[in-house]
Amino acid sequence: MAFDFDVPAAERALLTASCVVPRTTELEARAVGWWRSLNRLGVEMPLVIVHDVGRILATPLGSYSVVLDVAGLTPAMKREGDAYVSALGALAATPTTHRLASLRLRDAVVVGLLARLLGPLAIASRSRGGLPSTDDSPVTRFAPERAQRSWALIAAARERLVLAIELLDLDSVLALMTLGDDADELGSLLDIVTLLDSPDAQDAAAFSLELMASLSDSQQRNAVNMASAGGYSTLERRGSLESLLVSEFALDDELFLLRLRDNELLYWGRERDDERDEIVHWFVIDASASMRGARGVFARGVALSLGRVFVGKGHAVAVRFFDSRLHEPMRAGPRGLPVASVLAFRGENGRYLDRCAKQLLQEIVTRRASGQLVVHFITHGQAQVDKATMQQLAGRCRLQVIFVEAESRPEWSDVAAHVDMIAAEDVFKREQRLQRATRLVQKVKLA
Amino acid sequence: MNTEHALQLIASGRWSEARQVLHALLVDPALLQAEVDEMLPRCQALLMQRNHGLASALVALFRGVEPIDRLFEGVDARRAAELSAWHHARTGNQAAAAEAFLRAERWAHAALALQRAGEPARAHELWLRLLQRLPTQGNDGGQRAFAAPSGVIGVDNPVGHGAAGSYLMALLAFQLGRGPGKQPSAQESWLVSCQRHLEAAACAYGEAGESERAFDCYVVLSELGHVQNAFENLIEGFLGCARVVREDGLHLLALSFLQKAAHMADAKGEYHAAATIWDDAAKQAAATGLPYVRSLREAAGAAWLACARRYRQLQMPQSMVRHALLASAHAFVAADVPARAAEAVGDLAQIAKGAADPARYEQIVRRLLAASGTDQPAGVMPPETDTRFANVWEVDLLEWDLAGDPFSTAIALIGSAAVPIVVRRRALALALLLVDGHSAPNELAPEQQVQVARTIGELRVYDALAPLERLFLSNDAAVRRAVVQAIRGLPYKRSFGILRRALCDPANVVVQEATRVLARFQFAHALAPLAAIARGATTPEVRYAALEAIGRIQTPDAFDFVLRWCREDPSPPAISVLGTFRGSIVAQLAREAGQLGVPDVIRSALERII
């Protein structure tokens, strides 16, 4: 995340009112980055609040204290300050906060969490006539009365904030940290915010994690590589900083440096196929309204978890949604799958499968890249399409079709290399899930 | 001018004058129905005496008091059959109506009458014949009933092409698929064909900006879902309807469709889908400032809770159950009903036993219960707007069958018991204009076509659009101008089809009339088509006429559009429209816009609003 220090002087001055100490230049720089991203998302909050709440979420317990250490306060201001400290303390004390802090959240995820927690407060404050100034006013020195207004905002919302953090579903955060890449752009930030605010997307995240665990159980160990591609599969003594085990950061500085010098630090190793065939997987997922509910959850969950397996094998993976048109591909990059984008994607702009199939065929026909293409077509049982088009499609790629919660399969599906009919009980029950997931991966082993 | 005068004119053989007087009387809202009822029997008898058989039969059909077959001496056989058919249909004799419609070559009418008469096999055969005789690309067919364009077919889309062709094919396939066939696989094939054509039509109509037509496609799709008992098509239909009406600014109606979709999903055991639909409804209510956010969030909370309990029952993964419970608790908290949130968190504590930290959830339950004394009064659910629309899968086929013929349209209105009496009177006036055997509009003299267009406009019902669309094909600019004038009283989205074509008519008089009509258009739900006209206009007159019409809409969305427009083009006409907005929500938006910094000329308009 790019930090931009060009913030209003009044905001920077207000940081004096911070109650999460010690303040460091580095953490303030991160907070400024969060603050600017929140502003771009339309969540206007004083920098001091963003700093304090963000730090509680993002930094390990024990690395900070929550105290009121501001001079020159009137008794009324002191009371408000104490209430603020108490609210921050309550926030920091929840088990969810502890677990979040232990995850070493990326900045984009911190921004997403802050937007979810502080967004409703910002809206409510705006409708009540505004927040403590976030504009570029000429005030450059600390103004205690402005601090008091910021503190009051959090103190008044204490219960709501604590509940919001307690009721946060950690699966989606874990999915973002485990499966996905980082988000620097506003679009990706919006996706993360949408994901954290959408029970539907969170369900898909939870399901993909479940399915991935099943797939890991069923996979044979492959060779290992140190390149920044592929899924983690083993522990190594060498690697890049990004794959360093989180527990290594818990070492004190001296021991850490010693272990680094002696190559004793542990890194995650990535799995690698022995035969790196040029294999490209397109997960073509129905995003029409017909997929509402469990169908959509399954479709995205299976695409993410299978996608990760194939990325781990060194294959190229892209996810494509369709409704009344075929949407642009979301490709897995060097840092993994675009999890937030896949989970937050919202289609439902009608449904026109015939056109989408023709678009897909056209793209395959004009595709320049070499390598074998596997199309995983995930849709519902009422999906009707021109059989001739699908026949042509099947002639140019390996077509695997998954019908979710379908009672019968449409006639056109005869042309596919493999068809899976998956009912809810298959999807959601552990044994069947494992069996199904394993079979799905095995079917992809190309002739 | 009174009823006696009209009768005297008929008696003295001055039919042409008599017809004008009768027309004026029938469309006069001041004339009591009792007076009309008193006049018509004598009128009918006099017309019979004077050998005006068709006119006499029309009056008899309007009155609906006796068999009219004996009145048909000298009347064109097809017209007589059509009148007879409507008479039988009105009296409930569907079998006789079907035979008469067949003689009148109104095939779709005949097929539907056969279905109602309990003869599905014959109806099926007729639908099949209709489909086989459809001229498709490169195969004109030349059948009268199918060659003439109408609203359904669309003047620019011959049958078999584009949105209209797909829609028509879908409707026919639907009729073939839903009837009792000998082979279930064949029935299924027809329904599959219907679905694919509907998808094509809905998409093409949506992209062409004909949202009302796209809406019809989704209505048929949901009906298809009912016939197939297929959740996927039902939900696609309902949510498609909700999306189209929301884009048209009909937010309450959109909420009604969402409610209906959520109830349907719930009834089908699709709890997860139901919960997400309630979530969406709450978000939409919040975004549009509707006062139902709390109640809809509470409904979402309840749906998530039901979903979680169902998942538990089915022994689904604990993460899915936990997740649904968290969503439920979150929705209940947002709805200010902590007691219900405590119920969801209580379930969380139960499933956490032996695993994670149930004590933590129990603590949250205690906190929620402590706060439950502060529960707000129950929220209000959106009103149950009627989302049952006419059976478009029949109505649109019937309209297509009439091929925009004004005389047949008039008879259909006269013969329908469901049509209000005021409309039936106007329809009778229209039919009497056309009794001289020249019911095909292009066979009439241009001045007569002008009068017919005006009379059709006076009908003030949706059915008037198809004959007007047909009349608009006239080569005579005066007729096209009269059509444009006629749509002033027809505030339907489909009217924009004529308006759009009129705005780029080769004749200046037509363009000028269309611009005048556009500027005076008062249609609260037409922001999207009006905005498209404003953006695409090539002359300032059309551009500002569209802006003027948008100014009459007076909604926050319309205000936002005009404000954005003024930022790009702060011309006096645009600023003048901006200053006409009123209302507390708009004033709040104006205040916020003013704070962001705007040119002085816009600021003064915003101040007028505030």
A297–B272: do the CB atoms touch at under 8 Å?
Answer: yes
Q: Which of B286, B288, B278, B204 shows the shortest CA–CA distance to B245?
A: B288
* Per-residue confidence in pLDDT tens, chain A, 447 aa: 333 446 677 777 778 888 998 888 888 889 998 998 888 888 888 999 999 999 999 988 888 889 888 877 888 888 999 999 999 999 999 888 988 888 888 888 899 899 989 988 887 776 555 555 444 444 455 667 778 888 988 998 888 888 888 888 777 787 777 665 545 555 577 788 888 878 888 788 777 777 776 666 555 444 444 444 445 544 455 667 777 766 566 555 655 665 676 565 666 655 544 344 578 999 999 999 999 988 998 899 889 888 888 888 888 999 999 999 999 999 887 667 788 888 889 888 999 999 999 999 999 999 877 788 999 999 999 999 999 999 999 999 999 999 998 888 899 999 999 998 887 666 666 667 667 766 766 665 443
Residues of A in contact with B275 (CB under 8 A): 199
The CB-side HSE value for A269 (13 A sphere, CA atoms) comes to 14
Entry field: residues in chain B: 610
Q: Which amino acid is at B303?
A: A
| Contact in structure between B335 and B301 (CB atoms under 8 Å) | yes
* Structure-model confidence comparison of residues B418 and A258, the more confident one: B418
> Percent of chain B scored above 70 by pLDDT?
90
Q: Give pLDDT, residue B365.
A: 86
**CA A30 – CA B336 distance, rounded (Å):** 34
Q: Pick the residue from chain A with its C-alpha nearest to B271.
A: A293
How many angstroms separate the Cα of A372 from the Cα of each of A316, A328, A331?
A: 10, 20, 16
Residues B525-535 have a mean pLDDT of 88
Q: Which residue has the tokens 């939409």?
A: B284
CB atoms within 10 A of CB A83: 17
* Res B74 pLDDT > 90: no
Locate B3 and state its tokens. 């009823």
Q: Which residues 6+ apart lie within 8 Å of B45 measured at CB?
A: B56
Peptide bond into B441 cis (omega under 30): no
Beta strands A223-225 and A267-272 are antiparallel
Q: Does B192 touch chain A (CB under 8 A)?
A: yes
Range among A58-62, A164-168, B270-274, B284-288 with highest mean pLDDT value:
B270-274
B199–A203: do the CB atoms touch at under 8 Å?
Answer: no
Residue A368 has what DSSP assignment?
-
Q: Give pLDDT, residue B52.
A: 86
**A 210-249 near B (Cβ less than 8 A):** 210
Entry field: residues in chain A: 447
DSSP-based three-state secondary structure for A250? helix
Q: Which of B196, B200, B323 minimises the CB distance to A203?
A: B323
Q: Which of A293, A410, A425 minimises the CB distance to B270?
A: A293
**A 43-102 near B (Cβ less than 8 A):** 95
The predicted model scores a pTM of 0.82
**CA A291 – CA A406 distance, rounded (Å):** 11
Q: Which of B304, B316, B367 minimises the CB distance to A199?
A: B304
DSSP-based three-state secondary structure for A421? strand
**CA B252 – CA B261 distance, rounded (Å):** 14
Q: Which residues 6+ apart lie within 8 Å of B136 measured at CB?
A: B159, B160
Task: Give the pLDDT band of residue B161 (cuts 50, 70, 90).
Answer: low
Q: Give pLDDT, residue B148.
A: 32
DSSP-based three-state secondary structure for A284? strand
* Res B532 pLDDT > 60: yes
pLDDT tens figures, B304-332: 999 999 988 887 777 788 889 999 998 99
Burial zone of B593 (CB within 10 Å; 0-12 exposed, 13-18 middle, 19+ buried): buried
A428–B320: do the CB atoms touch at under 8 Å?
Answer: yes
Q: Check the CA dihedral A206-A207-A210-A212 and report its sign.
A: negative
Q: Give pLDDT, residue B237.
A: 96
Q: Give pLDDT, residue A428.
A: 61
Q: Give pLDDT, residue A22.
A: 85
B199–A350: do the CB atoms touch at under 8 Å?
Answer: yes
Q: Give pLDDT, residue A446.
A: 43
DSSP-based three-state secondary structure for A20? strand
* Res B154 pLDDT > 50: no
Residues of A in contact with B276 (CB under 8 A): 199-200, 292-293
Q: Give pLDDT, residue A103.
A: 82
Locate A211 and state its tokens. 């399915």
| Contact in structure between A430 and B317 (CB atoms under 8 Å) | yes
Q: Does B596 touch chain A (CB under 8 A)?
A: no
Q: Tell me which of B236, B243, B260, B362 to substitute to probe the interface with A (most A C-beta atoms closer than 10 Å).
A: B236
Q: Give pLDDT, residue A253.
A: 63
**CA B504 – CA B496 distance, rounded (Å):** 13
Sheet architecture: strand order including A232-236: A223-225, A267-272, A232-236
Q: Does B412 touch chain A (CB under 8 A)?
A: no
**CA B581 – CA B555 distance, rounded (Å):** 8
Q: Does B320 touch chain A (CB under 8 A)?
A: yes
DSSP-based three-state secondary structure for B65? coil
Q: Which residues 6+ apart lie within 8 Å of A239 measured at CB?
A: A226, A267, A268, A269
Q: Check the CA dihedral B582-B584-B590-B594 and report its sign.
A: positive
Q: Which amino acid is at A360?
A: L
Residues of A in contact with B324 (CB under 8 A): 199, 203
Sheet architecture: strand order including A330-331: A330-331, A316-322, A279-286, A372-380, A398-404, A418-422
Average pLDDT, chain B: 86
Q: Which residue has the tokens 């306060």?
A: A73
| Contact in structure between B10 and B47 (CB atoms under 8 Å) | yes
B367–A171: do the CB atoms touch at under 8 Å?
Answer: no
| Contact in structure between A278 and A371 (CB atoms under 8 Å) | yes
Q: Which of B294, B305, B288 shows the shortest CA–CA distance to B251?
A: B288
Task: Give the pLDDT band of residue B140 (cuts 50, 70, 90).
Answer: very low
Q: Which of B163, B182, B78, B169 shows the shortest CA–CA distance to B124?
A: B182
Q: Which of B228, B236, B304 minimises the CB distance to A290?
A: B236
Q: What is the H or E stretch that residue A420 is in? A: strand A418-422
**CA B347 – CA A393 distance, rounded (Å):** 48
B196–A385: do the CB atoms touch at under 8 Å?
Answer: yes
Q: Pick the residue from chain A with its C-alpha nearest to B366.
A: A163
Q: Give pLDDT, residue B257.
A: 94
> Percent of chain B scored above 90 by pLDDT?
56
DSSP-based three-state secondary structure for B413? helix
Q: Give pLDDT, residue B382.
A: 83
B273–A382: do the CB atoms touch at under 8 Å?
Answer: no
Q: Which of B155, B186, B191, B145 shows the shortest CA–CA distance to B171?
A: B191
* Res B523 pLDDT > 90: no
**A 17-36 near B (Cβ less than 8 A):** none
Q: What is the H or E stretch that residue A223 is in? A: strand A223-225
**CA B116 – CA B179 distance, rounded (Å):** 12
**CA B415 – CA B485 distance, rounded (Å):** 27
CA angle A410, A414, A419 (to 5 degrees): 80
Burial zone of B469 (CB within 10 Å; 0-12 exposed, 13-18 middle, 19+ buried): buried
Residues of A in contact with B317 (CB under 8 A): 206-207, 210, 428, 430
Q: Which of B58, B168, B348 shows the shortest CA–CA distance to A168?
A: B348
Return the minimum-mean-pLDDT range out of B67-81, B209-223, B516-530: B67-81
Complex confidence, ipTM: 0.83
* Structure-model confidence comparison of residues B4 and A432, the more confident one: B4
Q: What is the H or E stretch that residue A280 is in? A: strand A279-286
CA distance B20 to chain A (A): 50
**CA B1 – CA A358 distance, rounded (Å):** 66
**CA A349 – CA A323 distance, rounded (Å):** 6
